[in-house]
Chain A
Amino acid sequence: MLKQIGRDFEPEGAIVSVSDAKYPLPFARELEFNAPAHGNWNIVHIGMLIPEAHEIYVGSDNCMRGVVMTAAEMNALDRYSTVMLEEEDLLDGNLEDVTIEGVADVIRKLPYRPRCVQVYLVCLHHFLGSDTDRIFGELEALFPDIDFARCWMDPIMQKTGLTPEQKDRKAILDPVQPLPVNHRSVNVIGGDLPMHRENDIAKVLSAGDFTVRQLPTNRTYDEFLAMGESFLNLCYYPSGDYAVRMMNKRLGRDYLYLPSDYDDEAICRNLKELTAQLNMKDIDPTPWMEERDRALQRALSAVGKMPVTIDYMSTPRPLSLARALRKKGFQVQRVYLDAITPEEEADLRWLQKNAPDMELASTMNVKMRVMPRGTEPVLAIGPKAAWFGGTSHFVNMIENGGSWGFGSLTFIAEEMIRGVREEKDTRDVVPRKGLGCACCL
């Protein structure tokens, strides 16, 4: 039963007209609300992308609860362990010994020998000045047959540096070592989902008959290590770019970052760059563009004048998507985000000029806890937009669903049609974590 506080709250500070939105932070950073929509992947999900690996988190009770329950909900408790820090550990400041002894104890108790162990240290290790080289040096000496990945769960650093997610994406790639180069093998990495059939990069790689290696499709640790043979590391997901750049620097291979975009010119430019890198002839994208246009036309007929909302969880380019849909006649009413990335600045400027009635809404501002939800029918793209809109008509998607390029809009258009025609159980669906992972709920 929905029970809202029921007072009238002014949206000022929580929702702004796009024409008034400041770049890159349209909303003040104050107390933060967390909406009950959790489809995105966290560091536990990301870490599980290494087959035959075991995650060990070292932290205090409250910090451990969220990660262990993530593992439990994805039926992966047998690949997860905890070393619990206690109050006295904080006061004694001897986290190195506790960490080494705890991790070693867990490994000895495991009923199997993991090929790789990801050890997650926390904010406390930074603040108590823990010697991480000593921690990992001793663990590597104790267990020379195991690769140790140095991972972090240190959200206190995320607003002034890399996020734990970015560090995690890097750390899980660290065990990959250079192998003899295979010029027919390409790594597509950095994101969480395998490439969708409506991913133009996948189509190009398939046309070129390349062996494609992706983290979510590796079945064994050896397959994971075989990524060391690829001549090209390609990333299209912004949060993964740091990790791929670091891996590339280490392996000394070719590197390509092709960010998602919904602008025709940008997609064509990226495709040209891709084919050049692969030593392939240019691809004529006209059929893909035509298919996209037909799909969007069908979607527009289905959606009609129904307001559309988009969240940042569904796509790393919510403003680019809003721009593309507005151009095609969709009534994109609101985008939910808390910051605007440099990649999106041009889209913001376009929307300010061409769609000044559109709104940006924060997902974290305290007023978003109490603003009315479900006051009018909307089609939401993304789980957060669905919750804030109080709608059962939505596209349940994160990270573009693994799609990219012209195919991405074809895919999203088809999902919008389904979203309008079919109602989803929002209460059941959007609180689930890690869309695309196993889930026991």
Chain B
Amino acid sequence: MRRAYRILPVYSGDVSGAAAALFELGGMTVMHDPSGCNSTYNTHDETRWYDQDSLIFITGLTDQDAILGDDERLIHDIEKACEELHPNFVALVNSPIPYLNGTDFEAISSIIEKNTGIPVFYIPTNGCHDYVFGAGGALRMLAERMTDRNAGPDHTGRINLLGCTPLDFPADGEVAALKDWIRAEGFSAGSCWAMGDSLESLKDAGRADVNLVVSAVGLPAAKWLRENFGTPYVAGLPLPGYEKELCSALRRAMETGENQIPYLDRPADGQEETVFIGDPVCMGTMAAVKARQGSRTRVICPVEAGPELVGVQDAMTRGEEDVEREIANAAEIVADPLYRHICPAGVRFTPEIHFAFSGRIFRKQLVNRFQHDARGE
């Protein structure tokens, strides 16, 4: 049965994803939830909670609130917190019960925005999706509500990074290393969505010449920026051994204005199959590097990524049983260490820690993947 997970954990949920995406921007994220969503998020899905203040709260929804539809309390509590804490914006995040009873978050957002003068928007989560859906939706909504619509490409080789959260980039220094790489290749580093940058710099996102989608989380915002500013996007990561291809793709996108996903174009030959499980941008890039060494590669995407990020030879899966079926004949598997639990006997396993899957369990073993010496290269 697809819904049965005998031993694997689930990926971070949509509520956690939304909160992680907005963490550093000075806003206030409110999870309309009884309890647990915030605790789960800050314990297992967030590396910054202990050290860095961010206004992320739950409403403490009760059965009576839900049954009687007491939105007044929700509105009052949020407005009071706004008065006390002065956030840059408010993001409302939904959970299963308010989703079930049809709470009108759009209307609630309008009321609070009108009463406080602070931008308020709704991220349409419901607790039934994964972090890619939630974080991707949050960044897309941020683009829609907070970017300067009058900005346009400034043709300086400016590149935004889309899809950075600790769920995919948990190791210290990774985001800085990505920006350093952009500069080292002769481009200009634009805003990073959304780590290490302020809300002010994100507002200028329309000035970029290309958006670099560094995880599946970045795709919804990239598509919105494409539609509204005409900015092309490139998906991929400058992992060791893949910098040249990615750099060429960025230049091609600047010249042609066409989106580029270079890792999809991989040779399909080789006797033994190496299977990569995880975020399709990261795993696709790793697969492309491996394919150049003569291996047949396949990416298993167990998260709710846009299908354009997954190649014809790859697979999108839902649930443990699906993944087990897809890896049955693999010679080698590259995946988060917790996937070992379902690997066939005798398969070669290469651990690739994914914070959105194993949380903080392997946190002390994380390395910056964009430094050549991090993997002994």
Q: How large is the interface on A (under 10, 10 to 19, 20 to 34, 35 or more residues)?
A: 35 or more
Q: How large is the interface on B (under 10, 10 to 19, 20 to 34, 35 or more residues)?
A: 35 or more
CA distance A106 to B1 in the complex (A): 9
Q: How far is the CA of A106 from the CA of B100 in the complex (A)?
A: 27
Q: Is the CB of A101 within 8 A of B9?
A: no
Task: Indicate if A281 sits at the interface (CB-CB under 8 A).
Answer: no
Grouping DSSP codes into helix (H, G, I), strand (E, B) and loop, the B interface class, with mixed when no group exceeds half, is mixed
A1 within 8 A of B: yes
Chain A proximity of B143: nearest CB distance (Å): 23
Q: Kindly state the separation between the CA atoms of A106 and B7 in the bound complex, as whole angstroms.
A: 9
Mark A59-103 against chain B: 1 for CB-CB distance below 8 A, else 0: 011111110110011000110111111110010000000100110
| A440 pairs with B62, CB closer than 8 A | no
Are the C-beta atoms of B4 and A105 separated by less than 8 Å? yes
Point out the residues of chain A lying under 8 angstroms from B359, CB to CB: 69, 72-73
Given contacts A369-B55, A441-B360, contact A61 B128 (CB under 8 A): yes
* Interface contact A84-B51, CB-CB below 8 Å: no
Does chain A have a CB within 8 A of B63?
yes
- Are A65 and B44 in contact (CB-based, < 8 A)? yes
Tell me whether A181 is interfacial, beta carbon within 8 Å: no
Q: Please pick, from A82, A85, A109, A156, the residue contacting B128 in the complex, using a CB distance under 8 A.
A: A85
Residues of B near A84 (CB, < 8 A) are: 3-5, 10, 319
A170 to B134, CA, bound (A): 36
Q: Which stretch from B74-82, B243-251, B368-376 is at the chain A interface?
A: B74-82
| A34–B42 alpha-carbon span in the complex (Å) | 8
- For residue B16, CB closer than 8 A to chain A, the reply is yes
Q: B293 on the interface (CB 8 Å rule)?
A: no
Hey, which chain A residues are within 8 Å of B49, CB to CB? 36
Would you call B217 an interface residue if the criterion is a C-beta within 8 Å of the partner chain's C-beta atoms? no
In the complex, whether A332 has a CB less than 8 A from a CB of chain B is: no
Contact B128 A123 (CB under 8 A): no
Residues of chain A from 154 to 184 with CB closer than 8 A to chain B in the complex: 155-160
How many Å lie between the Cα of A73 and that of B38 in the bound state?
A: 18
A388 CB to closest chain B CB, in angstroms?
12
Question: Does any Cβ of B come within 8 Å of A328's Cβ?
Answer: no
A440–B341 Cα distance when bound, in Å, is: 16
B62 — nearest CB in chain A belongs to which residue?
A159
Closest chain-A Cβ to B241's Cβ sits at a distance in Å of 32
Q: A9 contacts which chain B residues (CB < 8 A)?
A: 84-85
Q: Which residues of B contact A431 (CB under 8 A)?
A: 43, 50, 360
Please indicate the chain A residues that have their CB under 8 angstroms from the CB of B10 in the complex.
61, 64-65, 68, 82, 84
- Look across to chain B and name the residue whose beta carbon is closest to the beta carbon of A9: B84
Say whether A123 contacts B97, CB under 8 Å: yes
Distance, CA A38 to CA B99, complexed state (A): 28
CB-CB nearest in chain B for A153: B36
A101, B129: Cβ atoms closer than 8 Å: no
A31 touches B60 (CB 8 A): yes
Cβ of B231 < 8 Å from any Cβ of A? no
Q: How far is the CB of B249 from chain A (nearest CB, A)?
A: 33
For the complex formed, measure the closest distance between the CB of B266 and the CB atoms of chain A, giving whole angstroms.
30
A105 and B1 in contact (CB under 8 A), knowing A38-B39, A65-B45? yes
The reply to whether the CB of A5 lies closer than 8 angstroms to some CB of chain B is yes
Closest partner residue, chain B, to A163 (CB atom): B35
Does B63 lie within 8 Å of A157, measured CB to CB? yes
**Interfacial chain A residues near B13, Cβ < 8 Å:** 60-65
Known: A30-B77, A156-B66. A60 touches B96 (CB 8 A): yes
What separation, in Å, do the CA atoms of A126 and B67 have in the docked complex?
A: 11
B130, CB-defined interface residue at 8 Å: yes
Assembly CA distance A81 to B16 (angstroms): 21
Within 8 Å of chain A (Cβ to Cβ): is B103?
no
Check A141 for interface membership: any CB of B closer than 8 A.
Answer: no
Which residue of chain B lies nearest to A64 when distances are taken between CB atoms in the complex? B10
How far apart are the CA atoms of A433 and B51 in the complex, in Å? 18
CB neighbours (8 Å) of B341 from chain A are 77
Question: Which among B1, B12, B53 is the interface contact of A65 at CB below 8 angstroms?
Answer: B12
| A60–B126 CA distance with the chains assembled, in angstroms | 9
Complex interface residues of chain B between 44 and 66 (CB less than 8 A to chain A): 44-45, 49-55, 57-64, 66
Q: Give the one of A29, A60, A77 with max B CB within 10 A.
A: A60
Separation of A65 and B7 alpha carbons in the complex (Å): 13
> B6 to A109, Cβ gap below 8 A?
yes
The answer, yes or no, to whether A207 is at the interface (CB within 8 Å) is: no
Q: In the complex, A102 Cα to B5 Cα: how many Å? A: 9
> Which residues of chain B (1-50) have a CB below 8 Å from chain A?
1, 3-7, 9-16, 30, 34-40, 42-45, 49-50
- Does B53 lie within 8 Å of A61, measured CB to CB? no
Distance between Cα atoms of A81 and B320 in the complex (Å): 11
Indicate whether A85 sits within 8 Å of B95 (C-beta atoms), given known contacts A3-B53, A72-B359.
no
A266 within 8 Å of B (CB atoms): no
Q: Does B84 lie within 8 Å of A366, measured CB to CB? A: yes
* Cβ–Cβ contact B40 & A62, under 8 A: yes
Residue numbers in A under 8 Å from B54 (CB-CB)? 369
CA distance in complex: A272, B38 (Å):
44
Contact A72 B9 (CB under 8 A): yes
Q: Give a binary string over A123-149; 1 marks a CB under 8 Å from any B CB, 0 the rest.
A: 110111000000000000000000000
C-alpha gap A107/B111 in the complex (Å): 49
- B252 CB, min distance to chain A CBs, angstroms: 37
Query: What is the bound-complex CA distance between A65 and B8, given in angstroms?
Result: 11
Given A65-B10, A102-B1, A155-B36: A32 touches B59 (CB 8 Å cut-off): yes
Query: Is there contact, CB below 8 Å, between A32 and B58?
Result: yes
Cα A36 to Cα B44 in complex, Å, equals 10
What is the bound-complex CA distance between A238 and B14, given in angstroms? 35
Q: Is A370 close to B, CB under 8 A? A: yes
Using known A-B contacts A65-B10, A66-B36, A126-B63, determine if residue A87 contacts B126 with beta carbons closer than 8 Å.
Answer: yes
The answer to whether A77 and B128 touch across the interface, beta carbons within 8 angstroms, is no
Interface flags for A18-50 (1: CB within 8 Å of B; 0: not) read 000000000001111110101000000000000
A31-B6 CB under 8 A given contacts A1-B51, A63-B127, A69-B43: no
A34–B58 CB distance below 8 A: yes
Q: Report if A110 contacts B (CB, 8 A).
A: yes
- Known contacts being A5-B53, A31-B57, A34-B58, is A61 close to B35, with CB within 8 Å? no
Could you tell me the distance between the alpha carbons of A400 and B308 in the complex, rounded to whole angstroms?
A: 55
A427 within 8 A of B: yes
Q: Does A367 contact B (CB under 8 A)?
A: yes
Q: For residue B39, which residues in chain A have a CB less than 8 angstroms away from its CB? A: 34, 38, 66
Closest B residue to A366 by beta carbon equals B81
Known: A13-B84, A31-B78, A156-B34. 13 other contacts (CB 8 A): A1-B51, A4-B53, A36-B50, A65-B16, A73-B360, A77-B338, A84-B4, A105-B4, A110-B6, A124-B96, A155-B35, A157-B63, A427-B51
Chain B residues close to A by CB (< 8 Å): 1, 3-7, 9-16, 30, 34-40, 42-45, 49-55, 57-64, 66, 77-78, 80-81, 84-86, 95-97, 99-101, 125-130, 319, 338, 341, 358-361, 363
8 tightest A-B CB contacts, nearest first: A62-B13, A66-B40, A155-B35, A62-B127, A156-B34, A82-B5, A31-B57, A105-B1
List 5 A-B residue pairs with CB atoms under 8 Å apart, sorted by A's residue number.
A66-B44, A69-B40, A77-B341, A84-B5, A123-B97
Listed in ascending order, the chain A residues whose CB lies under 8 Å from chain B are: 1-5, 7, 9, 13, 29-34, 36, 38, 60-66, 68-69, 72-73, 77-78, 80-87, 90, 98, 101-102, 105-106, 109-110, 122-124, 126-128, 153, 155-160, 366-367, 369-370, 387, 427, 431, 433, 440-441
